[in-house]
Amino acid sequence: MTQPAPGYAPVPAAPKTNVLAIVSLVISILGFNVIAIILGAIALSQIKKTGENGRGLAIAGIIIGAISIVLIIIWIIAIAALAASGAITTTTY
């Protein structure tokens, strides 16, 4: 490591990005929503304790996971309602 110029302090290293926050975001995009929400919550807890970067990534993983679960539930309810109303029928040949 080189010495700083006289009169200047060395630049401190930037904090690391929390790995679980990154994994939470990636897993939520891949569709493993419940796991993404859990990992995001754990990442937020670790970030609070350690001061690492990645809070936004963890929050994004939680939000994407939660929205995906809500959309899946709405989709299932819509299909069930259509089936109950007779709008969806099956035909056999």
43 occurs within a structural domain: yes
Read off the pLDDT band of 88 (50, 70, 90): confident
**What is the share, in percent, of the chain residues with pLDDT greater than 70?**
90
69 occurs within a structural domain: yes
91 occurs within a structural domain: no
Which residue bears the tokens 């110029």? Answer: 5
Calculate mean pLDDT across residues 49-70. 96
Calculate mean pLDDT across residues 14-22. 93
Query: 16: exposed, middle or buried (C-beta count within 10 Å: 0-12, 13-18, 19+)?
Result: exposed
Cβ(67)–Cβ(36) under 8 Å? Answer: no
List the structure tokens of 26: 């990636």
Provide the domain count of the chain: 1
11 occurs within a structural domain: no
9 occurs within a structural domain: no
35 occurs within a structural domain: yes
13 occurs within a structural domain: no
From the list 24, 68, 66, the residue with the least C-alpha distance to 42 is 24
* Mean pLDDT of all residues belonging to the chain: 90
Q: Determine the pLDDT at residue 33.
A: 95
Residue range(s) defining the domain that contains residue 71: 19-85
37 occurs within a structural domain: yes
Calculate mean pLDDT across residues 60-70. 97
pTM of the predicted structure, to 2 decimals: 0.78
List the structure tokens of 7: 């009169």
Q: Determine the pLDDT at residue 55.
A: 96
